[in-house]
Amino acid sequence: MGINPVPTLYSDNTATIKLTGNEGVSDQTKYIDVKYHSTRQMWKSREIELVHVDTKENVVDICTKRLSKVLHDRFLVKIGMET
């Protein structure tokens, strides 16, 4: 039917996506609280999907970052609030 039952999480942070797939522990990751490993478990069991989105296409930045007028206007159009 074209409906994907698996929720997709979009991120412009490639390190986050790589960390989810990496089960090793390093000096930078050994203090991450166990409760945050649930994302990795959900990804491994295919309950969620992680997808990289380029920073220039990350519409959510309109709510979180100061953008150039060009990007701001482009994102407004994408969310249906044309200027």
**Residues 62 and 43 placed together within one structural domain of the fold:** no
Number of domains in the chain: 2
**Residues 8 and 36 placed together within one structural domain of the fold:** yes
**Residues 46 and 61 placed together within one structural domain of the fold:** no
For 2, left (φ over 0), alpha (ψ -120 to 50), or beta?
left
| Global confidence as pTM | 0.67
What pLDDT, on a 0 to 100 scale, did the predictor assign at position 52? 93
**Residues 7 and 36 placed together within one structural domain of the fold:** yes
**Residues 46 and 60 placed together within one structural domain of the fold:** no
- Give the range of the structural domain holding residue 76, as residue numbers without chain letter: 55-83
**Residues 15 and 29 placed together within one structural domain of the fold:** yes
Q: What is the DSSP string of 19-50?
A: HHH-----TTTTTS-GGGGHHHHHHHTTSSEE
In this structure, what are the phi and psi dihedrals at residue 32, rounded to the nearest 5 degrees? -70, 125
pLDDT in tens, the chain (83 residues): 567 789 998 888 888 888 888 776 667 677 777 777 788 889 899 999 999 999 888 898 888 889 999 999 999 999 998 75
